[in-house]
Structure 1
Amino acid sequence: MDALILAATDDTPGIIFDPQSDNFEINHRSLPENAIDFYNPIFEWINNYFSSTPGKFALNVKLEYFNTASAKQIAKLLLLLEKFNARTKVIVNWYYKPEDKDMLASGIRFSKLIPIEFNFIEF
């Protein structure tokens, strides 16, 4: 399966979904003009990826900021991963800067809403 790699811009996150290296990462900032349009190819890629039943999937979330529209899409992404968690071990590594308590709080909220394993990591 081909990797999905999107370079970060001022308003959109960097996406690195590379099954060859087992690197699945969302980084930078997420405030695209149309969050639904931006995240739909990611959902499609994940559905295709999980059609082969991988043994594990660790998503590294290294966002500095995301807006409300992106929060809805991130929740949708996590719910999609939760669906696959029954047959594939899914882990979310939620990275935050020590001074960014809002980003940590956002990750904790997601972890309480979506029953998959979360790790909270300072970086």
Structure 2
Amino acid sequence: MNALFVESTELTPKIVFDPINLKFEISGESRPESGGKFYVPLEKWLNQYQLHLIELKKAGKAPSFIFKMKFEYFNSSSSKYIYDLLTQIVEMFAAGIDVKIHWHYDSRDTDMEEAGEEFAKLNTFPVK
């Protein structure tokens, strides 16, 4: 499966979906003009990766990995897409894939801390 790399801009976060090196990270600010245009390709990539992982699991070869979320800021329209991505990761976990979500935030940023806690509650999945 090919990796997906997207450099950050003033409006969009950096994306690293690297299945070879097992590095999965979204970092930076998310306030794109069109959330769907930015996030739907990420959702499609994750869906394909989930199918790939399920096949690997059947063969006893599914890797363990951590999905890191390092948002500095995201707007309300981005939150829906972030929730959708997190839901896809939770579905991987439910399918028996050993995946963890780490929600990173500045210790002084209570809004981002609370956002991570809310996403964890909505998905009933432990977010560290």
Task: Normalising by structure 1, report the TM-score.
Answer: 0.92
Deviations 1:2-50 (Å, cap 9, x if unpaired)?
1100000000000000011111000010000000110011111111111
Q: Which among 84, 88, 93 is matched to residue 92 of structure 2?
A: 84
Q: CA RMSD in A?
A: 1.1
For 2:112 and 2:71, the matched residues in 1 are separated by: 8
Alpha-carbon distance, 1:96 to partner: 0.6
Deviations 1:68-101 (Å, cap 9, x if unpaired)?
0000100111111112212212211000101111
- The list of structure 1 runs, each at least 4 consecutive aligned residues, that deviate by more than 4 angstroms after superposition, is none
Matched, 1:19 2:19: yes
For 1:98 and 1:84, the matched residues in 2 are separated by: 29
Per the alignment, residue 115 of structure 1 pairs with: 124
Amino acid at match of 2:76: T
Normalized per residue, which structure has more helix? 2
Amino acid at match of 1:80: Q
Normalized per residue, which structure has more strand? 1
For 2:6 and 2:106, the matched residues in 1 are separated by: 23
Q: How does 1:1-123 map to 2 (within 5 A)?
A: 1-53=1-53, 54-86=62-94, 87-119=96-128
For 2:11 and 2:92, the matched residues in 1 are separated by: 29
Task: Normalising by structure 2, report the TM-score.
Answer: 0.88
Which ranges in structure 1 are unaligned for 5 or more consecutive residues? none
SS of match in other structure, 2:45: helix
Alpha-carbon distance, 1:52 to partner: 1.9
SS of match in other structure, 2:32: coil
* Percent identity (aligned): 37
Q: Which has the larger radius of gyration?
A: 2
SS of match in other structure, 1:118: coil
Q: How many residues align structurally?
A: 119
